[in-house]
Amino acid sequence: MPITWLWRRWRKRKLAVRITSYHAIYGRKSGISGVPESLNFFLWKACNDILPTKEKLFKRKVVPDPLCPICMSAPESISHILWTCPSAQDVWAECNGKLQKSVCIDGDFIEILLKVGQGLDEDERHLMVTVARSIWLRRNKLVFEGIFQAPATVVRSAREQVEALDNVTRRHSVPSPRSIAREEVVWKKPPQGMVKINWDRGKIGMGAIVRDHSGKVIAMTSGPREFVNDPSLVEALAAREAVDLSISLGFQNCILEGDELELINAITQDEPCRGTYGQIVNDIKFLLLQGGHWKVSHTRRAANGTAHLLAKMGLLLLVSQIWTSDFPPCLDDIVRTEQSF
């Protein structure tokens, strides 16, 4: 079976705790809606302990030592690099008010966020997460470019990002002609009694989402995949996995929707396909004939946003995951936006 089913109870429980922590930090409705996806995504990765720290890479035998690339005096865990490392403490000390006074708190990164976040209002929590992300980006700039920013620069940049977002949010009520044009390409709900599966795949990550006629999410999958350099083959492999997922979950009336027009045409035409790509397409055709009612349709990339994000998320996960509840909260915004059309 192409999809590895590795969902286990202990993992689900662990993830549920982490998702609860995430919501406790930001709130399911209030904070997330105004925050950029990149920041939500960063917070979700930090809460789920999947940022590629040296401690993590060392365990996977990717780097020869686990030491923090900045202070070189302790293993680089998420809580170390974002909070307890002297270089991170220097940054937090540059922040004003409660954030500045919180530098003595210790523990797991989620615990730190929860403890500090409890005493902050929404704007301060937003700044806290933005600063944390800026510390992580500063660390990457040092590792990959040899440039190290001063603490004051990091905090100033984070403040500017928060202020810029505030200004955008205030202007949000007047849509620009460009945004109106973009809204015309939107995800559409399937008819009553059918489910729609959207899928996408990058070179090393795959994602798919199943939704019903009301736009409610029924299942999602995301995971890493072997590197494949051929874009057509990549999309075809992902399509086959999406079909496998739907069949495994027992869906009978399905719309399979992807954003690669050439592949959709190849699946829907009667003639057999040739070559490696063709074999996968023929597999898909065979699976679709095994039962149920299938419709295969094309959509634009702009209307395939959640599947696209799931594919990007896939390269950050160690193993493939399938969710039928407790969906990753960093996708709440995009799912809600797509659902509203």
Cβ contact 287:243 at 8 Å: yes
Nearer to Zn ion (CB atom), residue 68 or residue 281: 68
Of the candidates 164, 85, 94, the one whose C-alpha atom is nearest the C-alpha of residue 126 is 164
Closest CB 57 distance from Zn ion, rounded Å: 15
Q: Is 85 a residue that touches Zn ion (CB under 5 A)? A: yes
Closest CB 238 distance from Zn ion, rounded Å: 39
Q: Is 135 a residue that touches Zn ion (CB under 5 A)? A: no
Binds Zn ion (CB under 5 A): choice among 35, 68, 236, 288: 68
Tell me the backbone φ, ψ of residue 20, rounded to 5 degrees: -60, -40
Nearer to Zn ion (CB atom), residue 56 or residue 201: 56
CA angle 328/197/180 to nearest 5° reads 80
Nearer to Zn ion (CB atom), residue 76 or residue 338: 76
Lookup: tokens for 175? 């849509």
Number of residues that bind Zn ion (CB under 5 A): 4
Environment class of residue 30 by beta-carbon count within 10 Å: exposed (0-12), middle (13-18) or buried (19+)?
Answer: exposed
Binds Zn ion (CB under 5 A): choice among 15, 71, 137, 302: 71
Nearer to Zn ion (CB atom), residue 67 or residue 120: 67
Q: Is 91 a residue that touches Zn ion (CB under 5 A)? A: no
Cβ contact 91:150 at 8 Å: no
Nearer to Zn ion (CB atom), residue 68 or residue 128: 68
DSSP string, 46-78: HHTT-S--HHHHHHTTSSS--B-TTT-SSB--H
Nearer to Zn ion (CB atom), residue 41 or residue 109: 109
Spell out where 72-124 has E strands. Answer: none
From 22-30, 78-86, 136-144, 174-182, give the range in contact with Zn ion by CB under 5 A.
78-86
From 60-68, 216-224, 255-263, 325-333, give the range in contact with Zn ion by CB under 5 A.
60-68
Nearer to Zn ion (CB atom), residue 5 or residue 148: 148
Lookup: tokens for 254? 């399905």
Give the Å distances, CA to CA, from 72 to 81, 85, 144, 210: 11, 10, 16, 45
From 26-34, 63-71, 245-253, 280-288, give the range in contact with Zn ion by CB under 5 A.
63-71
Nearer to Zn ion (CB atom), residue 32 or residue 68: 68
From 80-88, 147-155, 165-173, 265-273, give the range in contact with Zn ion by CB under 5 A.
80-88
Other CB atoms within a 10 A radius of the CB of residue 111 amount to: 13
d(CA 101, CA 76): 23
Lookup: tokens for 269? 């035409």
From 84-92, 153-161, 271-279, 306-314, give the range in contact with Zn ion by CB under 5 A.
84-92
* Residues at the site binding Zn ion, with contacts judged by CB under 5 A: 68, 70-71, 85
